[in-house]
Amino acid sequence: MNIRLRGHHLLCLKGFQGYGYDESFVENMTFINSKRKLPQTTVSLCDCADDICASCPNLMDGICEDKTQNERVISMDREVLKKLDIKKEYDSTELFDKIDEIFNTKESVSKICFNCKWSEKCLFYQKLPNNR
């Protein structure tokens, strides 16, 4: 199975613990989160609406909320994607191991997670040390 993920959702999935915008969003994100952990899953990367956005109530006409918010999330995606190869189809478990290696302090995710309303509930963010 291949899943399509926008850059910043690689971090969101690592910290996901069942919270979300509505029931359908949580159900879909739970499904994607279980699939991304399987060794046979591959991941294609993007900086646009992905397989998680597909069940999100904030997705309007293919963009996140409105033009301003959409540009904000795209810039978060690009902060993650500049460390990866957007053209590559990644083995999912290897990709998420790589995410752990790259983003290993709060400082390393500061441009991505600084304004996130989920950061207090995000296991990934909460476990990151300030510095190494």
Task: Please report, as ranges, the residues that interact with ligand SF4 according to CB under 6 A.
Answer: 52-53, 56, 58-59, 64, 73
CB 75 to ligand SF4: min, Å: 12
CB 130 to ligand SF4: min, Å: 26
CB 28 to ligand SF4: min, Å: 9
- Residues recorded for the chain: 132
Burial of 17 per CB tally in 10 Å (0-12, 13-18, 19+): exposed
Burial of 132 per CB tally in 10 Å (0-12, 13-18, 19+): exposed
> What span, in angstroms and rounded, lies between the C-alpha atoms of 73 and 56?
14
For residues 60 and 94, which CB has a smaller minimum distance to ligand SF4 in the complex?
60
For residues 43 and 52, which CB has a smaller minimum distance to ligand SF4 in the complex?
52
For residues 56 and 112, which CB has a smaller minimum distance to ligand SF4 in the complex?
56
For residues 64 and 112, which CB has a smaller minimum distance to ligand SF4 in the complex?
64
Cβ–Cβ under 8 Å, residues 3 and 92: yes
CB 42 to ligand SF4: min, Å: 21
Helix (H) / strand (E) element for 42: namely strand 42-46
